[in-house]
Amino acid sequence: MSDRRNFIKTSALAATALLANSKISAEVNNKAGKEVKKPIVISTWKFGIQANEAAWTVLKNKGRALDAVEAGVMVPEADPAERSVGYGGRPDRDGKVTLDACIMDEFANIGSVAALEFIKHPVSVARAVMEKTPHVMLVGEGALQFALSQGFKKENLLVEESEKEWKEWLRSSNYKPVVNIENHDTIGMIALDENGNLSGACTTSGMAYKMHGRVGDSPIIGAGLYVDNETGAATATGHGEEVIRIAGCHLVVELMRQGKSPTDACTEAVNRVVKLMKVRKKELKDIQVGFIALNKNGDYGSYCVQSGFNYAVCDATGNRLIDADYHLK
């Protein structure tokens, strides 16, 4: 018995020492140049600049990354001039604006909606799915029904300009989304807050003139967005079918877990897309896929298939647009 007591005592002492050591080594690590750069928020495409500003208002006041990313992506969602996200988004081939969105926090809480019509802020419906239902994903009619039950307003999202373009498109009905234009449809945003916690959100009207009912990568956790509070976060833009095929953002985060930098992780994921396009004998020049990633230290990076993709980075030093490096040179 006393042996056992001694053993417990020694183990407890050893554990305390181990804990103290790990604390010391964490501090040493930080001192050794691994200083955490926080808060920081990054998001896809040029409209990320305005979106980052809204997110920054939350982050600079020591707010939660989750609140920051929701507030951030709501900016392009509400903007009718942004013909790719939320209100004003390009419709599917039946003339319907159907929206996809998801959100993920530091506790791996997730919420998502797909093929949602008539609601301007799908990201907030996704958050309500996360916080108020036993589920993680609602689609179509059911998502709309849930949104209305939560007090979201039903409105027409098809703006005149989008309708005009769609009618024009109907003349040829040729579905070959123009790279970086008809498929630059997504704002993906990831943030690290003052407390060192990560969250992300992703929202889109999807590929212009898609089939009615088509769902892309953006509302799919692991494809268009992934957050792992131990490691990092990633989000994607471009041809959703190719992102889903490689479970893109989960892959990027896992590569960071294995020690890759955000840029190298994004590059490796793009290489995987490239390889599978080859295997499937598809033309790489017809697609765009871009990833952005952020790790726990506040390091960030990106990579994409072809030129034209940029992303916005906002931290205490300012808010700027960066051109992503690309594969097809």
- Residue 91 in contact with ligand SD4, rule: CB under 6 A: no
Q: Nearer Cβ to ligand SD4, position 140 or 196? A: 140
Cβ at position 44, least distance to ligand SD4 in Å: 7
- What's at 141, amino acid-wise? E
- Residue 89 in contact with ligand SD4, rule: CB under 6 A: no
- Measure the CA–CA gap between 118 and 47, rounded to whole angstroms: 22
- Residue 267 in contact with ligand SD4, rule: CB under 6 A: no
- Residue 48 in contact with ligand SD4, rule: CB under 6 A: no
- Active-site pick, 98, 186, 237, 267: 186
Contacts of 159 (CB under 8 A, 6+ apart): 80, 83, 87, 88
- The count of chain residues that interact with ligand SD4, using the rule CB under 6 A, is 14
- 42 φ, ψ (degrees, to nearest 5): -130, 150
Q: Nearer Cβ to ligand SD4, position 207 or 221? A: 207
- Residue 105 in contact with ligand SD4, rule: CB under 6 A: no
- Residue 262 in contact with ligand SD4, rule: CB under 6 A: no
- Residue 52 in contact with ligand SD4, rule: CB under 6 A: no
Burial of 224 (0-12, 13-18, 19+ CB in 10 A): buried
- Residue 302 in contact with ligand SD4, rule: CB under 6 A: no
Question: What is the number of residues in the chain?
Answer: 329
- Measure the CA–CA gap between 170 and 251, rounded to whole angstroms: 37
- Measure the CA–CA gap between 55 and 47, rounded to whole angstroms: 13
Q: Nearer Cβ to ligand SD4, position 230 or 283? A: 283
- Residue 231 in contact with ligand SD4, rule: CB under 6 A: no
Contacts of 225 (CB under 8 A, 6+ apart): 102, 103, 104, 188, 190, 200, 201, 202, 218, 233, 234, 235, 236, 249
CA angle, residues 115, 116, 122, in degrees to nearest 5: 120
Cβ at position 218, least distance to ligand SD4 in Å: 5
CA-to-CA dists, residue 88 to 57, 62, 80, 161, angstroms: 25, 32, 4, 8
User: 140-149 and 122-132 helices cross at what angle (nearest 10)?
Assistant: 80
- Residue 248 in contact with ligand SD4, rule: CB under 6 A: no
* C-alpha closest to that of 101 among 228, 180, 89: 89
- Residue 86 in contact with ligand SD4, rule: CB under 6 A: no
- Residue 218 in contact with ligand SD4, rule: CB under 6 A: yes
- Measure the CA–CA gap between 236 and 190, rounded to whole angstroms: 11
186 is catalytic: yes
Residues 143-202 that bind ligand SD4 (CB under 6 A): 183-186
Residue selected from 112, 124, 199, 204 as contacting ligand SD4 according to rule CB under 6 A: 204
- Residue 310 in contact with ligand SD4, rule: CB under 6 A: no
Q: Nearer Cβ to ligand SD4, position 204 or 306? A: 204
Cβ at position 102, least distance to ligand SD4 in Å: 12
Could you list the residues that contact ligand SD4 (CB under 6 A)?
A: 183-186, 204, 206-207, 216-218, 237-240
* Residues with catalytic function: 186
